[in-house]
Amino acid sequence: MIEFQNVTKQFPDGTFAVKDFSLVLPSHKVTVFVGSSGAGKTTLLRMINRMVNPTSGKVLIDGEDVAGLNPVALRRKIGYVLQATGLLPHRKIADNIASVPRLNGVPKSKAREEALILLDTVGLDRSLADRYPDQLSGGQQQRVGVARALASDPNILLMDEPFGAVDPIVRLELQDELNRLQGEISKTMVFVTHNIDEAFAIADQVVILRAGGEIAQVGSPAEILANPADDFVETFIGADKGKRTLHLQRREEDGVTLIVDAEGRPAGILGEDKG
């Protein structure tokens, strides 16, 4: 479990990236931060692995304040997929994936063997293992970024717009793969996107952010669709409703009737007219 307690981050130039932010991110669940550019999503993510230290407030992992942990050890225990892939240009794909295990002293041949298995896991061909990052497409590189984050089998995965650089079709594929993968590995995942459809597609818990890291609404996709907290959330989730082909689907677990789009993603909830 990750917990933010009244976290504020003010950068030296005076910008408040995050202001008095409190939230619990449950273990083995996917929490998605969604919000417009500059809302403070990356800053929130990087306060978990101490790439950014809060100005005030605490970030706790399983009850332990990260401020007291060694940053290098902490980062090796947390998988991190960077917004811009962040692959090392001078190392082959397999070596990139094996980075953290190698730093932890795993023998070269074993680390490579595991890297090849991870290539399978993220749906890449093993023949890519000996290429360099710039010999891969943007989407392939992002998958390698995910493989690298998984390599040391971390309990926590931070993913900063991991599918930002790919076309919508591949993006949907990657989202499905991520859902399949999460079914197998069940990590505590923190995922950042500014695409609300992506958030609904993969989240257990969606956190909609306004500027300054202010929470507009927290809840499951169904809860947010059923009861948007305010106009801001409504606009945010309804922005491209018009393009959707919708149908109804009854959900077994709670008997809610969902409105589902062509890709099978919830787009709304069927309610009685109260007027």
Partner 1 sequence: MSWLVDNFDLVARLTGNHAILSVIPIVLGFVIAVPLGWIANRSHSLRSWVIGGGSFLYTIPSLPLFVILPYILGTRITDERNIIVALTIYAVAMMVRTAADALAAVPADAVEASTSIGYSLWTRFWLVEFPLAGPVLLAGLRVVSASTIALVSVGAIIGSANLGYLFTNGKQRDFLEEILIGIGASFLIALVFDIAIVLLGRVLMPWNLRKSPASKSIRQNAVGVY
The DSSP string of 6-73 is EEEEE-TTS-EEEEEEEEEE-TTSEEEEEESTTSSHHHHHHHHTTSS--SEEEEEETTEEGGGS-HHH
Q: Give the type of residue at 200.
A: F
Which of ligand ATP, partner 1, Mg ion, none is residue 73 near (CB under 5 to 8 Å by kind)? partner 1
Draw the binding track, 244-273, toward ligand ATP (x: CB under 6 A; -: no contact).
------------------------------
Residue 42 near Mg ion by CB under 5 A: yes
Of 35 and 266, the one with the shorter C-beta distance to Mg ion is 35
3-state secondary structure of 97: helix
Of 140 and 193, the one with the shorter C-beta distance to Mg ion is 193
Of 15 and 227, the one with the shorter C-beta distance to ligand ATP is 15
Span from 37-45, 69-77, 216-224, 248-256 in contact with Mg ion (CB under 5 A)? 37-45
Whether the CB-CB separation of 88 and 99 falls below 8 Å is answered with yes
Which of Mg ion, partner 1, ligand ATP, none is residue 140 near (CB under 5 to 8 Å by kind)? none
Site for ligand ATP in 170-199 (CB under 6 A): 194
DSSP letter assigned to residue 83:
T
Residue 159, H or E segment: strand 156-160
Site for ligand ATP in 41-70 (CB under 6 A): 41-43
Which of ligand ATP, partner 1, Mg ion, none is residue 258 near (CB under 5 to 8 Å by kind)? none
Residue 40 near ligand ATP by CB under 6 A: yes
Please give the angle made by the CA atoms of 267, 207 and 155, to the nearest 5 degrees: 110
CA distance 94 to 87: 11
Span from 23-31, 39-47, 96-104, 230-238 in contact with ligand ATP (CB under 6 A)? 39-47
Max CA separation in the chain (angstroms): 68
Q: How far is the CB of 256 from Mg ion (least distance, A)?
A: 33
3-state secondary structure of 109: helix
CA distance 185 to 55: 34
Identified binder of ligand ATP from the candidate list 2, 30, 32, 39, rule CB under 6 A: 39
Q: Give the type of residue at 76.
A: R
The DSSP string of 205-232 is EEEEEEGGGEEEEEE-HHHHHHS--SHH
Q: How far is the CB of 213 from ligand ATP (least distance, A)?
A: 7
Which residues of the chain form contacts with partner 1 (CB under 8 A)? 46, 49, 51, 72-77, 80, 82, 84-92, 99-100, 103, 132, 134-135, 148-149
Closest CA to 46 of 12, 83, 20: 83
Paired residues of 192 in beta bridges:
33, 160
Q: How far is the CB of 124 from ligand ATP (least distance, A)?
A: 25
Residue 38 near ligand ATP by CB under 6 A: yes
Q: Report the interface residues with ligand ATP, using CB under 6 A.
A: 11, 13, 15, 17, 35, 37-43, 83, 194
